[in-house]
């Protein structure tokens, strides 16, 4: 059980090899934490709608995102602020208009999978 951390070494596994494979599957705890934060961004239907719209439409203004998603301008701005802080989107000034675009390639990949396999997830 070479991969079990010392603080769990006193526990007795049923299948040592399976435990080691599971630990390998989990990988680096920091990486898991970072992905959990990314998934948290996608967990809100409003933010997910904004990200899907950005993924499909490319650079787009707040008012246009509000129109496309049915979310109020102020709520769109607030969500975009969070998405910008997380590094998921980027704001680019185009004269007096600020247009947002997707910045994180790993989120773009997830959105592409969602768009490609867009059926409703089955429960459980």
pLDDT tens-digit profile of 78-121?
Answer: 999 999 999 999 999 989 999 999 998 888 888 888 888 765 65
The CATH number covering residue 49 comes to: 1.10.10.10
The answer to whether residue 121 is domain-embedded is no
pLDDT score recorded for residue 68: 95
Give pTM, 2 decimals: 0.76
The answer to whether residue 64 is domain-embedded is yes
Mean pLDDT of the chain: 86
Q: Considering its fold, how many domains does the chain have in total? A: 1
- Specify the higher pLDDT residue, 120 or 52: 52
pLDDT score recorded for residue 26: 82
Name the percent of the chain in helix, strand, coil, to the closest 5: 60, 10, 30
Indicate the SS3 state at residue 17.
Answer: helix
Whether 108 contacts 55, CB under 8 Å = yes
**What interhelical angle do 62-69 and 73-86 show, nearest 10?**
110
């Amino acid at each position: 059980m070479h991969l079990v951390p010392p603080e769990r070494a006193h526990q007795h596994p049923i299948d040592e090899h399976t435990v080691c494979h599971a630990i390998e599957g989990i990988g680096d705890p920091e990486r898991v934490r970072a992905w959990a934060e990314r998934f948290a961004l996608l967990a809100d239907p409003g933010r997910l709608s904004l990200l899907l719209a950005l993924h499909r439409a490319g650079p787009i203004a707040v008012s246009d995102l509000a129109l496309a998603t049915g979310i109020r301008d102020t709520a769109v701005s607030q969500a975009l602020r969070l998405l910008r802080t997380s590094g998921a989107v980027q704001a680019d000034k185009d004269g007096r208009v600020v247009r947002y675009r997707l910045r994180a390639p790993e989120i773009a990949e997830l959105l592409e999978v969602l768009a490609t396999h867009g059926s409703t997830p089955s429960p459980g």
